[in-house]
Amino acid sequence: DIVMTQSPDSLAVSLGERATINCRSSQSVLYSPNNKNYLAWYQQKPGQPPKLLIYWASTRESGVPDRFSGSGSATDFTLTISSLQAEDVAVYFCQQYSSAPLTFGGGTNVEIK
C-alpha cells in the first residue's frame, strides 16, 4: 500500500496569512505516460463529508476559491491557502489514486491563530 504522510498534524494561522500543508507518499504517484500525479486534496468541516478541492495534484475543482492551490510531483506535494479565511477552518486530507488500495493521509487540522 502507498502510505500518505501529512505534516504538520495541526496548524494555526492568522486570518489573511498563508497556510501550507505538506503530503508525502511512500511511492511515486506520478504516471509517466500521461505525466499526471494521481493526488487529490480534500477539506472536511465538522459534521460534514470531505469535499474535493484539488485533483491531479494541482487542478482546482469547480467552485473552489482560487486561494486554494496544489503543487508538487512524484512523492512530495503541498496544499497552500494563500490568504486564510474564517471559513477555511477545517481538516485537510491528501489522497492518492495511483494504485489500489486508495489511501488517505492522516489529516491536518487548520485553525485560526
Partner 1 sequence: QLQLQESGPGLVKPSETLSLTCTVSGGSINTDSSYWGWIRQSPGKGLEWIGSIYYTGSAYYNPSLRSRVTISVDTSKNQFSLNLNSVTAADTAMFYCARLCNTGTGGRGNPDCWGQGTLVTVSS
Enumerate residues 6+ apart whose C-beta is below 8 A from 52: 40, 41, 42, 61
Residue closer to partner 1, measured from CB, 40 or 84: 40
Does 37 participate in binding partner 1 (rule CB under 8 A)? no
Residue closer to partner 1, measured from CB, 84 or 107: 107
Per-residue contact track with partner 1, 64 to 93, x per CB under 8 A? -----------------------------x
CB of 111 to partner 1, least distance (A): 18
Does 32 participate in binding partner 1 (rule CB under 8 A)? no
CA distances from 108 to 23, 30, 80, 99 (A): 10, 23, 12, 23
User: 92: which 3 cell numbers?
Assistant: 485537510
> 38, 68, 77, 92: which one contacts partner 1 (CB under 8 A)?
38
Q: For binding to partner 1 (CB under 8 A), which residues are involved? A: 38, 40, 48-52, 55-56, 61, 93, 95, 97-107
